[in-house]
């Protein structure tokens, strides 16, 4: 065999190996199957040339040339199909008929070749290194074949270039660059093989186009193996799954440095993948939450789950995340690093805070509700007992509030409640607590009283919240209130006792006509109130 026969044998061997290797990686992948079919055709193209370069006669060369024609007619169509699936799989699914129509030119040219008609060479002549295929430059079939080859190959390169340019993944950009460079080199080699040698050599050189196009095939294969082109392997499929996860994922080496990240992590931290690589994981968290010692402890224990940490973004914003760290071990059991999965819990924490707030605060007035009020009352009584101070418990109720709801509607009633609640919150001291107990009933804890007489100015302040009318659009709503007050420790030292007595005092104030405050008196009881109402202590405005 001639030296060119060995080149063709090498090209055929490479085609067979990389095709079988890609198919073994994942037989179910459409990309793998298309790549394997392309490699089979290139093998079909190269193998005849192993014998053709040493062909004994012109007739033998011509028969082998047409036998190998599917190997150089069909690959451009299959490669374009491969690049379409790679760069725009949804388009292929939606336009299957259009994709299969891409094979029509190849089918027409193949039928012409199998009929014994020249579609490329008009003659075969012996030259020093073998046989030379004389191109039929005037034949319309040669022109069709050239247009088919060039347009399909250029379109395939353009698709890969556009895909790489639009991708935000560094791996895909590198894949696109490799495919484009090797494809361009293959195009230049084939063009030179057909036309270039005639310009620089006195004797034509036998064709080696099959070896030149193998360069492109090897480039695509290198992108598959080195950069895991799309989902050609189970590992690559896992990579794509991680990339599309909504949770942020970091792969960390055993020294606590970032090896890689997914898109969610990059978006959460506002950092590019190149900036995250080799960054200490402790630098991504606020404080000493993830120190190297803590990280080593996590690796030793095999993982720590559902711990809320705070990550630091490029703009120094802190993002609360629920983090899970899991150790990664090699097949031999040796510790290799860890996988960190972080979920942004800002919305989750906000919802939890809302629920906690609703559990302790009234939704209409945003004042503490009965449960929180009772807890604060117990704390206030304990504090006052230690300091030997007095605490006043005031119950406040609207006068004739039902008339407002019945005549004007609940919308006006709610407006009254919210306005009076705001006035209470503003009018009380910081150490005091106002609460809505339910309906139109409010309560207040008044602390820090040195003697019982200190309650009088505070009671007057409670009544003053009703002094100004409440404006509702063009209406002015005037409402009054009744206030009943019990005093710790004079009237009792238990929250329940003080609340019952404050309620009795408030009921007494209502019996006196409302718009007044009344301290608890021992004579007050449900039965005696009807017969002997106490004398009024304080009226609003007096």
pLDDT in tens, 391-434: 999 999 988 888 888 788 888 888 888 988 898 888 888 889 99
Residue 282: CATH number of its domain: 3.30.450.20
pLDDT of residue 298: 66
Q: Are residues 121 and 47 in the same domain?
A: yes
- 403: domain CATH number? 3.30.70.270
Query: Which of 8-22, 115-129, 308-322 has the lowest average pLDDT?
Result: 115-129
Q: Do both 375 and 333 map to the same domain?
A: no
Q: Give the residue carrying structure tokens 């699936």.
A: 85
Any domain includes 419? yes
pLDDT exceeds cutoff 80 at 304: no
Using CA of residue 358, residue 359, residue 365, residue 366, what is the dihedral sign?
negative
In the chain, what percentage of residues exceed pLDDT 90?
Answer: 17
- 408 and 374 in a common domain: yes
**In the prediction, which pLDDT does 299 show?**
65
The reported pLDDT for the residue numbered 452 is 87
Lowest mean pLDDT among 117-131, 261-275, 511-525: 117-131
Confidence of residue 519 (pLDDT cuts 50, 70, 90): very high
CA dist 367 and 369 (Å) reads: 6
- Please check the confidence at residue 351 and state whether its pLDDT lies above 60: yes
DSSP H stretches of helix in 68-208: 69-73, 75-87, 89-94, 96-101, 104-114, 140-166, 170-191, 197-200
Domain identity same for 65 and 214: yes
Distance, in Å, from the CA atom of 480 to the CA atom of 464, rounded to the nearest integer, reads 9
* pLDDT score recorded for residue 391: 92
Query: Terminal CA-to-CA distance of the chain, rounded, Å?
Result: 125
> Quick one: 340 and 374 in the same domain?
no
Instruction: Report pLDDT digits (tens) over 75-94.
Output: 889 989 988 888 887 788 77
Indicate the burial class of 100 (C-beta count within 10 angstroms; 0-12, 13-18, 19 or more). Answer: exposed
**Confidence tier at 347 by pLDDT (50, 70, 90):** confident
- What is residue 322's DSSP assignment? E
Do the domain assignments include residue 114? yes
Instruction: Mark whether 31 and 96 lie in a shared domain.
Output: yes
Given a contact cutoff of 8 angstroms between Cβ atoms, the answer to whether 529 and 507 are in contact is yes
Specify whether the CB–CB gap between 293 and 284 falls below 8 A: no
CA atoms within 13 A on the CB side of 301: 11
- Whether residue 198 is found in the same domain as residue 113: yes
Task: Round to whole Å and give the CA distance between 109 and 148.
Answer: 10
Give yes or no: residues 61 and 131 share one domain: yes
In the predicted structure, residue 228 carries a pLDDT above the cut 70: no
| Dist. CA 137–CA 97, nearest whole Å | 33
Boundary-marking domain end, from 233, 258, 276:
233
- Inform me whether the pLDDT recorded for 240 exceeds 80: no
The residue whose two tokens read 């992590």 is 265
Residue 493 annotated in active site? no
Of 442 and 128, the structure prediction assigns the larger pLDDT to 442
- For residue 337, the SS3 value is strand
Which pLDDT score is estimated for 181? 92
Tell me the two tokens of residue 431. Answer: 């150490």
Structural domain boundaries, residue 259 = 245-350
Q: What is the pLDDT of residue 390?
A: 93
> Which of 185, 204, 233 is the endpoint of a domain?
233
Same domain for 64 and 152, yes or no, is: yes
Both 182 and 285 in a single domain?
no
Structure tokens at 138: 């005037």
Which is catalytic among the residues 15, 344, 397, 440? 440
Count of structural domains, the chain: 3
Give the number of residues written for the chain: 542
Q: Is 356 inside a domain boundary?
A: no
pLDDT at 292: 54
pLDDT tens for each residue of 22-80:
888 777 778 888 889 999 999 998 898 888 888 888 888 888 888 888 888 898 899 89
**∠ at Cα 279 (243, 331), nearest 5°?**
65
Mean pLDDT for the stretch of residues 351-369:
88
Instruction: Give the tokens for residue 446.
Output: 């008044």
- Regarding predicted confidence, which is higher, 44 or 192? 44
- Note whether 314 and 451 are same-domain residues: no
The model's pTM:
0.47
221 and 153 in one domain?
yes
User: What's the pLDDT score for residue 7?
Assistant: 84
Mean pLDDT (whole number) for 299-313: 72
Mean pLDDT score of the chain: 82
Rounded alpha-carbon distances, angstroms, from residue 491 to 40, 389, 466, 499: 100, 13, 27, 10
Q: Which of 181, 207, 233 is the last residue of a domain?
A: 233
């Amino acid at each position: 065999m001639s030296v060119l026969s060995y080149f063709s044998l090498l090209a055929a061997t490479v085609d067979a190996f990389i095709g079988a290797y890609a198919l073994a990686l994942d037989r179910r992948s459409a990309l793998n199957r298309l790549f394997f079919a392309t490699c089979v055709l290139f093998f079909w193209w190269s193998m005849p040339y192993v014998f053709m370069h040493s062909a004994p006669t012109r007739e033998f060369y011509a028969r082998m040339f047409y036998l190998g024609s599917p190997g150089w007619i069909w690959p451009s169509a299959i490669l374009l199909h491969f690049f379409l699936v790679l760069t725009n799989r949804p388009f292929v699914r939606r336009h299957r008929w259009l994709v299969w129509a891409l094979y029509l030119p190849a089918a027409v040219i193949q039928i012409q070749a199998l009929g014994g008609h020249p579609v490329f060479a008009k003659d075969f002549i012996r030259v020093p290194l073998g046989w030379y295929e004389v191109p039929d430059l005037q034949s319309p079939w040669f022109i069709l074949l050239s247009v088919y080859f060039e347009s399909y190959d250029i379109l395939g390169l353009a698709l890969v270039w556009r895909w790489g340019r639009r991708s935000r993944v560094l791996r895909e950009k590198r894949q696109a660059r490799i495919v484009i460079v090797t494809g361009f080199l293959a195009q230049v080699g084939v063009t030179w093989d057909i036309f270039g040698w005639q310009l620089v050599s006195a004797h034509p050189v036998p064709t080696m186009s099959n070896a030149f196009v193998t360069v492109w095939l090897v480039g695509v294969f290198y992108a598959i193996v080195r950069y895991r082109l799309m989902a050609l392997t189970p590992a690559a499929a896992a990579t794509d799954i991680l990339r599309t996860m909504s949770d942020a994922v970091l792969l960390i080496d055993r020294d606590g440095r970032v090896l890689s990240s997914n898109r969610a992590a990059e978006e959460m931290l506002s950092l590019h993948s190149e900036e995250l690589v080799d960054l200490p994981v402790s630098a991504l968290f606020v404080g000493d939450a993830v120190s190297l010692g803590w990280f080593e402890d996590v690796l030793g224990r095999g993982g720590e789950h559902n711990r809320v940490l705070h990550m630091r973004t490029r703009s120094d914003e802190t993002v609360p995340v629920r983090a899970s760290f899991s150790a990664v071990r090699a097949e031999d059991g040796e510790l290799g690093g860890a996988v960190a999965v972080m979920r942004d819990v800002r919305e989750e924490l906000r919802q939890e805070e809302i629920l906690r707030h609703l559990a302790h605060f009234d939704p209409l007035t945003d004042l503490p509700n009965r449960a929180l009020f009772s807890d604060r009352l117990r704390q206030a009584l304990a504090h006052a007992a230690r300091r030997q101070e007095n605490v006043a418990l005031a119950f406040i109720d609207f006068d004739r509030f039902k008339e407002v709801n019945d005549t004007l509607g609940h919308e006006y009633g709610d407006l009254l409640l919210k306005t009076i609640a705001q006035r209470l919150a503003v009018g009380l001291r910081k150490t005091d607590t106002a609460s809505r107990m339910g309906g139109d009933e409010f309560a207040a804890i008044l602390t820090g009283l040195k003697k019982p007489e200190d309650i009088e100015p505070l009671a007057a302040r409670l009544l003053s919240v009703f002094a100004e009318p409440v404006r509702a659009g063009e209406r002015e709503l005037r409402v009054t209130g009744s206030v009943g007050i019990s005093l710790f420790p004079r009237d009792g030292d238990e929250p329940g006792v003080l609340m019952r007595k404050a309620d009795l005092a408030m009921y007494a104030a209502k019996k006196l006509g409302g718009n007044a405050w009344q301290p608890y008196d021992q004579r007050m009881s449900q039965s005696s109130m009807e017969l002997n109402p106490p004398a009024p202590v304080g009226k609003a405005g007096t």
